[in-house]
Structure 1
Amino acid sequence: MAGVSVRDATLDDVALLRAWDEEAHVIAADPNDDWQWEEELQRQPDWREMWIAEVDGRPVGFLQIIDPAREDSHYWGDCEPDLRAIDIWIGPADALGKGYGTRMMRLAIDHCFATPEVRAILIDPLARNARARRFYERLGFAFVEERTFGEDRCAVYQLDRRTWEGR
């Protein structure tokens, strides 16, 4: 099985990310967000990382890791320090169901917990997205609450460091 690697997303990825934004499965998972790629990929705040996941040099997905207590839109509201939040998706439809998402998440989780202060990771799939919820639960994320972010009803999940390290 091919390995997944990640690299920083750059302005050169705008067309790719915009194309992925038009994929039916991406729209279904994130129907109401405009990521404003041209602007966001030029910013490099110290509280965020944006990655492109690749398999054998082929881009297959996107990952964003943020510090929700420090991120400037306050999407997560008031958050305690020492947390991270992850956004993830597979871009091309033909890359779905191949295990890439699992490997991407493991890379992201290990990266988050490589910082000793980070005690937990948050994720917020749509509440109605049963497949995504099962995916996160298999990784050890525990359901916290349903919450509305903007126009979207989401299921907030949290993965504690002890749970990840004890798997």
Structure 2
Amino acid sequence: MLFESARIKFRKMTTNDVQMYNQWRNDLEVMTTTSPSLDLFTEEDTHEFVSHVILGSDTSKSYIILDKQSDRPIGIISLIQLDYKNRNAECIIDIGEKDYWGKGYGTEALRLLLDYAFLELNLHRVSLRVFSFNQKAIHLYEKIGFKHEGASRQAIFRDGAWGDIVQMGILQHEYLTAR
């Protein structure tokens, strides 16, 4: 599988990415719309998270998203909770470099990941969770073909208000038909 498109490419995440990932995890503007916890993390916390949760598991595949022109890391994308027997996974994406926001890099990265999930891994279903107040992300997921599957009502508290955690999913045939 060639992990690249017109503007981006993926490479496997390594422990060498901990410092950069830690900066993204501690940027509240980056995490407000994607992380249920707005805790601050030490580099040691992030190293442990990356080593055990991201790299130390056979049920996840995590990649750093690189700008092809500059080779600059701009985000992370993962398939987590991979269930090969039932051909399911959950995806997560964070564009950590804010100057890349709103320019289609998330769409490009998600399409690359879904190509891999459905064409190489032969998954049947990919799901994700998104906060109801993250309308830009919801619009992106709908544009790609994700369907609303439900919501955990008032499960996230941000900026003095409750929001839902929306569950969305896309099936292999839906993605391939819309491609």
Superposition RMSD in Å = 2.5
For residue 9 of structure 2, the aligned residue among 5, 24, 34 is 5
1:6-155 → structure 2 map (5 Å cutoff): 6-29=10-33, 30-32=35-37, 36-43=45-52, 44-56=56-68, 57-67=71-81, 69=83, 81-113=86-118, 114-116=120-122, 118-147=123-152, 151=156, 153-155=164-166
| Residue pair 1:32, 1:151 contacting (<8 A) in 2 also | no
Q: How many residues align?
A: 157
Q: What residue ranges of structure 2 are gaps of 5+ in the alignment? A: 158-163
CA shift, 1:138, in A, is 0.3
CA shift, 1:23, in A, is 2.8
CA shift, 1:24, in A, is 3.8
Point out the structure with the larger helix share.
Answer: 2
* In structure 2, C-alpha distance between the alignment counterparts of 1:145 and 1:130, rounded to whole Å: 16
* In structure 2, C-alpha distance between the alignment counterparts of 1:87 and 1:49, rounded to whole Å: 10
CA shift, 1:69, in A, is 4.8
Cα deviation, 1:84-120, whole Å, max 9, x if unaligned, reads: 110101011111112111111011101111222x111
Residue type at the aligned position of 1:99: G
Point out the structure with the larger strand share.
Answer: 2
Of structures 1 and 2, the larger Rg is shown by 2
Q: Which moved more, 1:49-58 or 1:136-145?
A: 49-58
TM-score (norm 2): 0.78
TM-score (norm 1): 0.83
